[in-house]
Structure 1
Amino acid sequence: MFSQGRIIMNMQNYSDNITKAAKLIKEADYILVGAGAGLSAAGGLNYGDSELFIEWFPKLSELGIETIGEAISFYWNADDSNRRSFWAYWANHINKIRYEAPALKPYLDLYEILKDKNHFIITTNVDEQFVKAGFDKEKIFAPQGNYGLFQCDKPCSNDLYDNKTFIDKMIANMDKDKFEIREEDIPRCPKCGSYMSKNLRVDDTFVEAPHMEKQKDYMDYVNNSMDGKLVLIELGVGFNTPGIIRWPFEKITMKHLNAVLIRMNMQYPDIPEKLLSKSLTFNEDIQMVLTEINAARFKK
């Protein structure tokens, strides 16, 4: 699971690290943010939280499903035998996370920290929390998709469709006892009539082109940062897709003459030995760390 050399952890004093992180951010010319699921989990959208699942999906908890993560696995694929219950789950899942959830405190604190700084964001999260918190969507590269969009499941085109109307209709008409939507409410592609699917990177049918338009902006930002002080802030990024943020952030830090990596991760805070002199690590709660860095900005 761990790449070579990830056995030494930075054990510097937590309070000192808060002060150092605030100073590094204040003095940075460029700030590159990389965010994974751990950032949203720190704000309460935790896919492993059994209490949250019971609150949101009491009917499914009676079936022995205990967490959102388990429900996602249970309803991962749709076919003719389960399509109505599949969409009953996903309509409610998307509604809770994409539409009902407010901007979470970790994102709001991060916005306060970065709003006046030159920054860019890459995230594997698909919940639009960055936009809800006030970040400019033009400065966000989100290559894994978006809970607010549907696509054709074939796909017949690279078109993406806002799904709020579809979601509202499925939920309004669903049979709550059977946990099924109506056959006529199953979303279909307006171009070819095939079924719609979630716009998430799950297989080779994923419509990625609209999201990848921001890849050049991301690469340009990294290249432009080479002439200044760069701080990379990595938040809750584990090993589900380390090739998108975690490993590239380490490579950028190594190659950049004036870069520091700030890694926040309760489960995987480890840093390669060769990067110890260019890094700060936090294995404490991300929400707490961001709140304290935000407060530390105003201390002399």
Structure 2
Amino acid sequence: MNLDGYDMVLIGIGEEFEEAPDALEAYNKLSKDLEGKNYFIVSLCMDDVIYKSNLNQDRIVTPLGGRRKKQCPDACENALYDLDVEKCPICGKELIYNNILAENYIEQGYLPMWEKHKLWLTGTLNKSLYIMELGVSMRLPQVVRWPFERVAMLNNKAFFLRVNGKLPQINAELKEKGKGIGENSVKWLIEN
């Protein structure tokens, strides 16, 4: 992967990374590739392995939540708790992980970083932008797939790369400034 000549890099991480045995190695390789670059990562993984990597945590948002915080299953209080807290101090129920698997998902866990991501994204307009979508499925296309395609279409200086073992196709509007690679994204990232 050659990022020379690009001012900014937008990365989407998808389900191919979730629970992958060599995901940490891939994240650390990505960190090395991004040295000196202005980047932001939107990850759909809830395993939180990305936070164990060398990537800058202030440049990562995980809108589906994860396993770093807990919440009340009833969201009786709009609060998040550290992992060592076992029961909700309000209702006494056992706390669960703060992620979209919770019936009453408390979004405050990711919203501050989402706002930072949106602000960063406004700075990409008319800049040379490398958009890299790695292993994102169609499970929640409105979070990464469609917004990333839209950013690529709106920015005349953008290049769009989609690496996916099952869904590498890119739409017709991006054919001139994009590429799809039909490989597992974790393996591809480690090897390239």
Calculate the TM-score normalised by the size of structure 1.
Answer: 0.60
Residues 124 and 143, structure 1, Cα contact 8 Å, conserved in 2: yes
1:135: how far off?
Answer: 1.5
SS at the partner of 1:260? strand
Q: What is residue 157 of structure 2 aligned with on the other side?
A: 258
Query: Of residues 219, 222, 242 in structure 1, which corresponds to 2:121?
Result: 222
Find the aligned partners of 1:129 and 1:153 in 2 and give their Cα distance.
24
1:227: how far off?
Answer: 3.0
1:158: how far off?
Answer: 2.3
Instruction: Kindly indicate whether residue 186 of structure 2 is the aligned counterpart of residue 284 of structure 1.
Output: no
1:203: how far off?
Answer: 5.6
Larger Rg: 1
Instruction: Kindly indicate whether residue 30 of structure 2 is the aligned counterpart of residue 35 of structure 1.
Output: no
Moved over 4 A (4+): none
SS at the partner of 2:17? helix
SS at the partner of 1:205? coil
Q: What is residue 51 of structure 1 aligned with on the other side?
A: none
Instruction: Kindly indicate whether residue 31 of structure 2 is the aligned counterpart of residue 132 of structure 1.
Output: no
C-alpha offsets along residues 38-75 of structure 1, whole Å, 9 cap, x if unaligned?
1245x427xxxxxxxxxxxxxxxxxxxxxxxxxxxxxx
| Higher normalized strand content (fraction of residues) | 2
Between stretches 249-258 and 196-205, larger displacement belongs to 196-205
**AA partner of residue 111 (structure 2):** M
Find the aligned partners of 1:288 and 1:215 in 2 and give their Cα distance.
28
Q: What is residue 154 of structure 1 aligned with on the other side?
A: 74
C-alpha offsets along residues 223-279 of structure 1, whole Å, 9 cap, x if unaligned?
101131001111110011111001111111111111111111000001111111111
Residues 149 and 198, structure 1, Cα contact 8 Å, conserved in 2: yes
Residues 226 and 256, structure 1, Cα contact 8 Å, conserved in 2: yes
Q: What is residue 71 of structure 1 aligned with on the other side?
A: none
The higher relative CO (CA closer than 8 Å, separation ≥ 6) is in 1
Question: Cα distance 1:203–1:210, how it changes in 2: closer, same or farther (>3 A)?
Answer: closer
Find the aligned partners of 2:74 and 2:187 in 1 and give their Cα distance.
43
Instruction: Kindly indicate whether residue 38 of structure 2 is the aligned counterpart of residue 118 of structure 1.
Output: yes
**AA partner of residue 230 (structure 1):** L
Find the aligned partners of 2:127 and 2:119 in 1 and give their Cα distance.
14
Percent sequence identity over aligned pairs: 28
**AA partner of residue 106 (structure 2):** V
1:292: how far off?
Answer: 3.5
SS at the partner of 1:242? coil
**AA partner of residue 44 (structure 1):** P
1:146: how far off?
Answer: 1.4
**AA partner of residue 73 (structure 2):** D
Between stretches 148-157 and 284-293, larger displacement belongs to 284-293
**AA partner of residue 151 (structure 1):** Q
Question: Cα distance 1:191–1:134, how it changes in 2: closer, same or farther (>3 A)?
Answer: farther
Find the aligned partners of 2:29 and 2:111 in 1 and give their Cα distance.
27
Instruction: Kindly indicate whether residue 31 of structure 2 is the aligned counterpart of residue 44 of structure 1.
Output: no
Find the aligned partners of 1:114 and 1:40 in 2 and give their Cα distance.
21
Gaps of 5+ in 2: none
